[in-house]
Amino acid sequence: MIQREYLFHTFDDLTRIVKEINASDEYKNAAGVLLQLNNPKVDSDDERIVDYINMGLEKARLIGMTAANVSDEEYDNKNNQVELNVTYFFDTALFRFEFDMERTSGFEAGLIISEKLSCMPDAKCIQICHSCGSAIMHPFVREFRHHGLPIFGARAGRNVRAGSTTKVYGSTVHEKGIVGVIFVGKSLHYYMDNCFGFKEVGVEMTVTGTEGDNIITTVNHRPAVEVYSKYLGVKPGSQYMRNTCEFPLVFRRGDCVVARVPSGCREDGAISFTSDVTRGEKFRLSYGTPENLFKIMEKSVKRLSAFKPEAVFLFECANRVRLLKDMAAGDTEKYFDIAPNASMSVGIAEIFITPDRTGGALNSSLVAIGLTEDESAEDEYRSHIEFEDDSEEVSEGEEFIPFMDRILNLLERTSEELTALNTELGEIAYTDRLTRVYNRWELENKLTDVLKMDVANNTNSSLVFMDIDHFKSVNDNYGHDVGDLVLRATVQVIKDNLESSYVFGRWGGEEFICILPETGLEEAAVFAEKLRKAIESNCFVAVQHITMSFGVTISKPEDDSESFVKRADEALYEAKETGRNKVATRE
């Protein structure tokens, strides 16, 4: 594998470059040729450029996009050169796909890719450039994500001040399209890094209301804009994006850190984003400094260098460029030290999906990709690079520390201490000491939250009320120590069968409840029956076997936590009165 970079301002420059590539031995001998066109200009004849490249280099596969620019005017990139990056593969085949999303849906396009991948056992990874909203991209990727291939790329950007149009490049130019490449080869290996570098700060908050897939309407049941007005003093207005972009919301999806930067706000207090958001997710505010971003970048460069890449692709968020200003080049220059011909794309929603299917569309990140056809290499990816604890570091000599650095350090340490303290206090406040699951006080809070979300989103949730049969006889015959062991063992059996969205805790004594958000009565009853069988078949120390009875109900719009629990309790009473060790339901 060999990578080359070419830069041009004029069409005459491009003509010379295409002729040079076409005449090279590398082009003639390659099994696959990838061309990446990264265009920051706002006045270029894109159709002419793309047509000329495709006609002049028929063997190659072109993919590319317009660059994003949201920086202040003095850092405008519209006068930068256009990059045509070439990667020659000698043992890897390239399959390009492209879709005009004015003519098809994300679901249909994704289904086509999934069918293609089913016929490509040696497919290794996928690169995507697109100029679509998350409502299209989310179902598109979802249809083939299960194949377990790493996916990387970015969403095309535009020059905000110039009012240019976002475009992606393939066999033609698309204003609303998806263009991608599937890399197919047994000897191909990859390296992937999600270089974020923003530090989380403040309290954890919950998305309690959404609209579509990219609008948050409420946070902790309050208008979403209050997140920024309360903590940063930023109120809705013409400068809203500019005042909030340096403080992304940070979500943790599995092992992957995903940020969201506001793209606008509404009079009703909702905030819109360029990528997907999900009701029920938790997040914290974050902030970035050049020093922190560079620390993470340097860790990535060091690890990538050890991988010994033959080609490097970088996908940087325009929000980082806006934050770094005149230091923006420092975010990527060390990658060019190890890969002088690396490709560089600046977009607004970087794509980073790992083989274990974590990740998705990012914001404010830098995605670093390394490729090699060295068969001895091993695939590697990092969903998130953690900061090292440098609180004990002492620099040699004395130096003046800028005021803002001291303030940020104060905020960091205070936030860390508050988080640790809140975690400790929270465990005491909401955890049952014996079983280490939610106690009744916290369950009542969770019930209230779920019922509010049901009303706000016109959904229904279910509740399972459960009780250990004849538990008093366990205490009487074996003692309270054994009774405690039985309670803890019962909790473990139940926890082993819970879905991640379920809320489970001890109501009191031998009684437990489980809240199933947005779950119908029939599905909840099936879950309760699964628990009943698991408890019945389990062998407990000393007592050998126990059984449980279950009452199941579904929420109603007029419910409060008391009426919801009462109805489930009535169903439990029915199960007890009709023989125990069974599931009863009540609507």
Determine how many CB atoms are found less than 10 A away from the CB of residue 134.
Answer: 21
Query: Catalytic pick from 83, 310, 350, 510?
Result: 510
Residue 430 identity: Y
User: How many whole angstroms separate alpha carbon 308 and alpha carbon 122?
Assistant: 22
Residue 463 identity: L
For strand 123-130 and strand 173-174, is the pairing parallel, antiparallel, or unpaired?
unpaired
User: Is 510 designated active site?
Assistant: yes
User: How many whole angstroms separate alpha carbon 360 and alpha carbon 368?
Assistant: 15
Task: Quote the longest CA-to-CA distance of the chain.
Answer: 94
Decide: residue 407, CB within 10 A, 0-12 exposed, 13-18 middle, 19+ buried.
exposed
b/e per residue 254-263 (b: at least 16 CB within 10 A): eebbbbbbbb
CA 570, chain centre distance (Å):
42
| Element containing residue 231 per DSSP (H, E) | helix 226-232
Both tokens assigned to 506: 């001890």
CA 182, chain centre distance (Å):
22
The conformation of residue 137, written as its DSSP 8-state character, comes to H
Q: Check if the beta carbon of residue 156 is closer than 8 Å to that of residue 66.
A: yes
Which has the closest alpha carbon to 127: 49, 65, 39, 196?
65
User: How many whole angstroms separate alpha carbon 472 and alpha carbon 470?
Assistant: 5
User: How many whole angstroms separate alpha carbon 586 and alpha carbon 528?
Assistant: 13
Packing angle of the helix pair 11-23, 46-56 (nearest 10 deg) = 20
State whether residue 273 is helix, strand or coil: strand
Which has the closest alpha carbon to 282: 256, 249, 255, 233?
249
Both tokens assigned to 561: 């936590």
- Report, as residue numbers or ranges, the catalytic residues: 510
